[in-house]
Amino acid sequence: MNHSKQKMHWSFWVIATIALVYNLMGCFNFIWQMNPDAVAAMPEAYRSVVETRPVWATGVFALAVFGGAIGSLLLLLRMPMASYVFMAATVGGVLSLVPLFAAAVIPSSALAGALVQTGVTAFLIAYSLRVLKRS
């Protein structure tokens, strides 16, 4: 499979690299939230969200962030599969919002983070479909 039919514009490399770094930060955030000592040091509102989050919601959160990172890596490798991985990550991002709305107190930054992650992966779906179709 030859993915070097066309030289990619410099902006592709910038966007794909920023996407990878951004999504890796999400992976580190997930790993941080799995550390009981880190959770204990969080403000009460954040700790409540993490501690009361159902197991399935933790799973879709992992799907969102790790799917975004894998999709970004696939995008850098110019593999069309990136679009499908970003689609799965977007589904994970949307589903991760459900328990936030059920919480008594929703930290605005937690909600904003989930919405931004979902928006970024939705953008990356469209972007990867467009640029990888031409390459």
pLDDT of residue 103: 67
Per-10-residue mean pLDDT, the chain, length 135: 70 97 95 95 87 93 95 97 95 87 72 82 94 80
CA angle, residues 4, 6, 8, in degrees to nearest 5: 95
pLDDT of residue 24: 97
Phi and psi at residue 122, in whole multiples of 5°? -65, -45
What are the angstrom distances between the C-alpha of 55 and each of 25, 36, 96? 21, 15, 11
pLDDT of residue 31: 97
pLDDT of residue 45: 80
Predicted TM-score of the model (pTM): 0.87
| Domain parsing of the chain, residue ranges | 10-134
